[in-house]
Amino acid sequence: MRNQRQIRSEMGFSTADHIGVRGMDLVRDLIGKVSLGDMAWLELKGNLPTPEESVLFNALMVTLVEHGMTPSAIAARLTYLGAPEAMNAAVAAGLCGLGTVFAGTAEGSARMLQEALGGAGDTPDLAPIAARIVASFRAAKIPLPGLGHPVHKPIDPRTPRLFELARENGRFGPHCRLMELIAAEAEKVSGKSLPVNATGAIGAIASELGIDWRLCRGIAVMGRAIGLVGHIAEEIRNPIAKEIWHRVDDEASEDVRPK
């Protein structure tokens, strides 16, 4: 016989007159009192953020809401074209594409930083850590996460703003400094321009906020779910999915289709 484990959750529950969310009373403590971004922090952390945490955490998510006509947004619109009765499924389709290529990248930099600093003590000497990380990624021929950008050149304009906010809110700590040292070391060793990009800054700041690297893709998921609803709203006002479909279909079979 298999031993049963207890099933437990602290997320929330409902009774006839009460809805509890992470130990708080939804009606009395949360509705009308906390913003959506602070509610997201409560979901992840079990408590409400300090004002400084709130500014930074909202900034990370706001950065990730909207990137224009991404593959994920186009996929959501095409899905809505076929199933307008289920906009939830259209957003789901868009989220399915937030994988390793585009939106999953903050988890890479957060993991690198958190694994490096996990047992590193209170005031680690960061320069040799940065050198070691750059050397090991180069030896394994894996690109360093969080550096460089195909479009935003010479620098990603989001990075200085995010790091400025981290400084203003007392969270420009060792993960942020290590991320900058890794960029400097990578530039020195490779001779190429490799500034910290937005996902590098987000991974570093999320680490300062005590967010496990396994959850960093979740920051993108929360932000982008909102952005995808925005794209569906525009698709209702000004539909383009049908035009995209017809153009692709016409061109794709141009030379096999009988004239």
Residues 155-194 that bind its own copies (CB under 8 A): 157-158, 161-162, 164-165
148 binds its own copies per the rule CB under 8 A = no
Residue 167 parent element (H or E):
helix 158-168
114 binds its own copies per the rule CB under 8 A = no
The residues facing 21 across adjacent strands are 12, 24
H-type helices in 12-103, by residue range? 36-45, 51-65, 71-82, 87-96
26 binds its own copies per the rule CB under 8 A = yes
- Determine the Cα–Cα distance for residues 248 and 20; give it in Å rounded to an integer: 49
8 binds its own copies per the rule CB under 8 A = yes
For the chain, the maximum distance between any two Cα atoms, rounded to a whole number of angstroms, is 73
Stretch that binds its own copies, among 40-48, 128-136, 170-178, 179-187 (CB under 8 A): 40-48
65 binds its own copies per the rule CB under 8 A = yes
- Determine the Cα–Cα distance for residues 63 and 61; give it in Å rounded to an integer: 5
112 binds its own copies per the rule CB under 8 A = no
Of residues 175 and 217, the one with the C-beta less far from its own copies = 217
Query: Would you say 232 and 90 are in contact if contact means Cβ atoms under 8 Å apart?
Result: yes
| Smallest separation (angstroms) from its own copies to the CB of 175 | 19
44 binds its own copies per the rule CB under 8 A = yes
Of residues 125 and 243, the one with the C-beta less far from its own copies = 243
Q: Of 135, 142, 189, 252, which one interacts with its own copies (CB under 8 A)?
A: 252
220 binds its own copies per the rule CB under 8 A = yes
Q: In the 8-state DSSP scheme, what is residue 154?
A: S
Q: Of 48, 52, 74, 137, which one interacts with its own copies (CB under 8 A)?
A: 74
| Smallest separation (angstroms) from its own copies to the CB of 108 | 12
Q: How many residues sit close enough to its own copies to count as binding (CB under 8 A)?
A: 128
- Determine the Cα–Cα distance for residues 149 and 156; give it in Å rounded to an integer: 7
Of residues 72 and 129, the one with the C-beta less far from its own copies = 72
Of residues 121 and 154, the one with the C-beta less far from its own copies = 154
244 binds its own copies per the rule CB under 8 A = yes
- Determine the Cα–Cα distance for residues 133 and 208; give it in Å rounded to an integer: 19
100 binds its own copies per the rule CB under 8 A = yes
110 exposure class (CB count in 10 Å sphere: 0-12, 13-18, 19+): buried
Q: In the 8-state DSSP scheme, what is residue 173?
A: -
48 binds its own copies per the rule CB under 8 A = no
The residues facing 73 across adjacent strands are none
Distance from the first to the final alpha carbon of the chain: 68
209 binds its own copies per the rule CB under 8 A = no
